[in-house]
Amino acid sequence: MNTNKRCLLLAAFTLISMTSVVAQTTYDLGSILTQNQIHALGAMKTFTVDNGVFRIISNSPGIGGNVINDQGRVGRCDAEIVISGIPTDQAKKSLDPYQSTITSVKVYDSLKIVSVHFSTVSDAAKARNELSNLLTGATITLPIIFALPKAR
């Protein structure tokens, strides 16, 4: 392979990479990706919560990232689970097995809610599904935001 060809391939690869990065960072919350756009994203990790299957299109460790639902709609998941409906002490104690993947825990005593951030969206989804089976009476959500409110 000559130098020019290598340069051309490198440039093409860079362009593809840049396009991919730009695509991942510029999708608007709530927009629906076309099949071509989804195909261009390549293989994606998936997770299931209740009857919903989501694909992870970007993820920054400790921050979360963007996901798409079964219709290709873009949502934001902060790799956070929210536990309510049980005493906050009980909720905190239930987190012991997950300490290695938890980045922060916040207790909102006024609302009796515990918010837990994980390293990755996948870690959060796994913990959410396991804890849902373990904590009777608790409501455990993995918030995925598809829209932000607007002034009326």
Q: Is 113 in the site for other proteins (CB under 8 A)?
A: yes
Q: Is 89 in the site for other proteins (CB under 8 A)?
A: no
Q: Which of residues 29-48 bind other proteins (CB under 8 A)?
A: 30-32
CA-CA distance, 60 to 7, in Å (whole number)?
30
Cβ–Cβ under 8 Å, residues 78 and 89: no
Stretch that binds other proteins, among 12-20, 38-46, 93-101, 141-149 (CB under 8 A): 141-149
Give the nearest distance from C-beta 26 to other proteins in angstroms.
10
- Cα diameter, the chain: 67
Q: Is 152 in the site for other proteins (CB under 8 A)?
A: yes
Both structure tokens of 18: 């840049």
Alpha carbon distance, N-terminus to C-terminus of the chain: 61
CA-CA distance, 45 to 26, in Å (whole number)?
20
Q: Is 2 in the site for other proteins (CB under 8 A)?
A: no
Interface positions with other proteins (CB under 8 A): 28, 30-32, 49-54, 69-71, 73, 76, 78, 80, 82, 84, 108, 110-113, 115, 139-152
